[in-house]
Chains A and B, each alone.
Chain A
Amino acid sequence: MLSRVADSLYWMARYIERAGNVARLVEANSSLELDSTTSQRADSLAFWRPVLEATALVDAYNEAVAERPELTIPDFLMLDPKNPDSIVASVSEARENARMVRDQISSEMWLELNTLHLFLKSQGAAEWTSRPEDFFARIIRFSLLFQGITDATVPQNEGWHFIQAGICLERADKTSRILDIPHRVQGARSAAPWGTVLGSCSAGPAYRDLYGDAVDEWKVTNLLIFSDSFPRSVRFCLRRLNEVLHAISGTPQGQYSNEAERLTGSALAGLDFADPNDVAQAGLSAYVDQLQRNFNEISQKIFETYVLLPSELQSLNIDSRYVHAYNQQQQQQQQ
């Protein structure tokens, strides 16, 4: 399959998963805001800041708000086209990528994506604050529906594996970020934020099955990072990623043929033999930061292995006149 096509499928899937997870993040935090005391609520900025920190968007927001003082953080996260991680921007990027490979995806996938894109550009979306819960639900349902449509309408071959890789990596990353929010909310040590975290990861029923009604940090961490059966846990996503990367390269499990596979296997092994006590020891924020750095590195290596092909290019004899022009063409990397 063409490298560019694989890259577009991977990013289409990542951006759609991202849109759903940003909705989950904002929903989680909105719900915490309702639970909070009046004094906290008065200072909405302080309340929303942890979400920006958890998503590494503090600088981007400060820049945006300097230009447009009326911009709230939830609006910035939802609808600001200039915020590259906003829902609007994610869906729009997903659509651009889908457009590049429209002949490789099913018309049902395109229709669903295009419908949401048109909705987000409409007036109805701009008024999301009047019915925020409907808005969140719609975005989350869209990302799940899109993934279901994908599984039911396209051949599960190489292209589909790249789609799965995009979903797994993005989901692992965002689950770890959602889990990190309560720690960043000052003074939030009650059970309430952990219940909210579970809710926004669709993990409530899975948790109660395992641990009953009492919610505590250790158990939530155990479920969302280490569960080997819950499909949004970091470990589950990494194991799935490990499988699809091996399916793409044809390398047997337990071996690796490129850096993306080696780093994924290594991160997975780390989680296979760790537990929430290790997390507590390192500090949750520090622990998930390290995970997120691993994810970024894996994504970069997937790009290099299947799109940039540096080792293949080095073995070629490329005229220096062409290298410059070629490099210019490859600069449009996504993130």
Chain B
Amino acid sequence: MFFDQYNCGKFFDEMFAGDSQGPREHYRVVRDRFRELTEDDLDAKRRRLDRSFLEHGITFTVYGDDDGTERIFPFDPLPRVIPADEWEKIENGLIQRITALNHFLYDIYHEEKIIQDGIIPEHVIKSAEHYRPEFRGLKVPRDIYIHICGTDLIRDDDGNYLVLEDNGRCPSGVSYVLENRTALKRAFPRLYQRMQVEPVDGYTAALLRTLQDVAPHGKSDPMCVLLTPGVYNSAYFEHTFLARRMGIEIVEGRDLIASDGFIYMRTTKGLVQVDVIYRRIDDEFLDPTVFREDSALGVPGLIEAYRRGNVTLANAIGTGVADDKVTYAYVPDMIRYYLDQEPILPNVQTYLAWDDNDRKYILENLDKLVVKAANESGGYGMLMGPTAAAEEREQFRRRIEETPRNYIAQPVVNLSRHPTFCEDGRIEGRHVDLRPFVLSGDRVTVMPGGLTRVALKKDSLVVNSSQGGGSKDTWVLKRRQEED
């Protein structure tokens, strides 16, 4: 019943090939299952899902929201399905990309060959907000900088997957992937079984193995901990979730103490040396004696221990330079330069305001482009040219002219849509993206699927949880037996 009046609009739809056509082949079983549900069935299932999220305390915090600081991340029961061959391409593309990014970070903190060979202008790197020249020449275990990456993918009008950004600092959201799966498996057990979905719950074991792989001095059986800013952080639920699943301690800065270039954790049985820190704190807050003095979150002396190679930070310090949206524009070039390969997953076409020609184009086409600040995330610091008020466009014009290095522009990519339950119980198309999680230790591991975020507001292209986004479970299908 639910799909009778469904309208694909002018967008690429994940489930349907077009208005008058049936579902795409890999969605047929899902469509049939949901079509046979009555509204009451669905209500009951949704209520059970919501209760399960609440009881598990799967919540996030919205800053600047005074009443009840915790909310559930809205969850849509209709899963997103990705067929095996489609996924294989994404996986290869992600592995290629993280490999190039780690080469790049090693290079710019050591020889800077990519600059000398004229691939990336020196000023682009050196002016990046999160470039950390003071860590040049520092050796990190296995030369890996980004151990945990959450790359955002979108699909254009033709269904091509494009990379929107690489989150190489402290990407979050993976706990929702795991909890969404647990909840949906319980709600639709037979459908899940029939669909032959790749499991995701190996993620935490793979994450722990990744952390152990990069222990200082190749130490075996290292002490790994998760460093959180504390209970008031919006992702605190995720921090406790991951620490628990990995069976490691979740620590705050005040639980750690530095001495003679080593880091210890204060326990009731005395001080215990810590080897690897999965830190969910940004660089600037890690050590008040080096970075922000006013920060009470970090550990005084942590940087000294890090410099001496006695403790590994995951991710390493200084990866933010790769997150910079200007650097992002050069990732395809990095792939060609370091790996001598063509990028499997293309970027969104990007204009760089520091370049005179590009800037001229941007300023002439502000009403057609999306303008983004180079170092903002979460959907902040952004101009949606076609829908913005003239006044807002003028504001961005001035900012771009004042600090061109800080801005890039991209054509509006509509993002594919996915049938989604709306408040009135009907199903309508809503825009989605996909954040797969990539781990780099001894080898690169890509979690099958990732977090599908959905913009619950009609016509909105902003999927961030802080701005009214929700999520879906993402089902990557197993390769069919006969194809093996």
Chain A residues near B (Cβ < 8 Å): 1-4, 6, 99-100, 102-103, 107, 110, 158, 162, 248, 306-307, 309, 312-313, 316-319, 321-322, 325-326, 328-330
Contact = CB atoms under 8 A, between A and B. Distances in A.
11 contacts: A2-B251, A4-B255, A99-B231, A110-B57, A158-B268, A306-B268, A309-B270, A313-B257, A318-B259, A319-B258, A329-B296
A162 B268 CA distance: 10
A316 B261 CA distance: 11
B257 A326 contact: yes
Nearest to B298: A325
A171 to B, nearest CB: 22
Contact of B258 (A6, A312, A318): A318
Nearest to A305: B268
Contacts of B268: 1-3, 6, 158, 162, 248, 306
Contacts of B57: 102, 107, 110
A317 B260 contact: yes
A199 to B, nearest CB: 38
Q: Is the interface of B mostly helix, strand, loop or mixed?
A: mixed
Top 4 closest pairs, chain A to chain B, by CB: A325-B300, A322-B300, A316-B259, A103-B240
Interface in B254-272: 254-255, 257-260, 264-271
A44 to B, nearest CB: 37
Nearest to B260: A317
Q: Is the interface of A mostly helix, strand, loop or mixed?
A: helix
B79 interface: no
Interface residues of B, number: 32
Contacts of A110: 57
Nearest to A100: B231
A309 B270 CA distance: 7
A309 B289 CA distance: 22
Nearest to A96: B231
Contacts of A107: 55, 57
A256 B157 CA distance: 73
Contacts of B255: 2-4
B257 A317 contact: no
B266 A328 contact: no
Contact of A309 (B249, B254, B271): B271
A316 B231 contact: no
B265 A325 contact: no
A291 to B, nearest CB: 26
Q: Which of A2, A107, A162 has the most CB of B within 10 A?
A: A2
A193 to B, nearest CB: 42
A99 B230 CA distance: 10
A6 B271 CA distance: 14
A96 B420 CA distance: 38
Contact of A319 (B270, B296, B301): B301
Given A2-B267, A317-B259, A325 B288 contact: yes
Q: Which of A3, A162, A307, A312 has the most CB of B within 10 A?
A: A3
B253 interface: yes
A322 B302 CA distance: 10
Given A316-B259, A317-B260, A326 B300 contact: yes
Nearest to B271: A312
A317 B261 CA distance: 10
Contacts of B252: 4
Nearest to A316: B259
A325 B289 contact: yes
A6 to B, nearest CB: 5
A2 B301 contact: no
Interface in B298-328: 300-301, 304
Given A103-B250, A162-B268, 5 more contacts: A1-B268, A102-B240, A103-B240, A110-B57, A325-B289
A328 B295 CA distance: 11
B300 to A, nearest CB: 4
A6 B255 CA distance: 12
Interface in B229-257: 230-231, 240, 243-244, 249-255, 257
Contacts of B300: 321-322, 325-326
Contacts of A103: 240, 243-244, 250
A4 B254 CA distance: 8
Contact of B266 (A2, A100, A318): A2
A246 B160 CA distance: 65
Contacts of B253: 329
Contacts of B301: 318-319, 321-322
A4 B268 CA distance: 9
Nearest to A103: B240
Q: Which of B55, B260, B267 has the most CB of A within 10 A?
A: B267
B456 to A, nearest CB: 27
A325 to B, nearest CB: 4
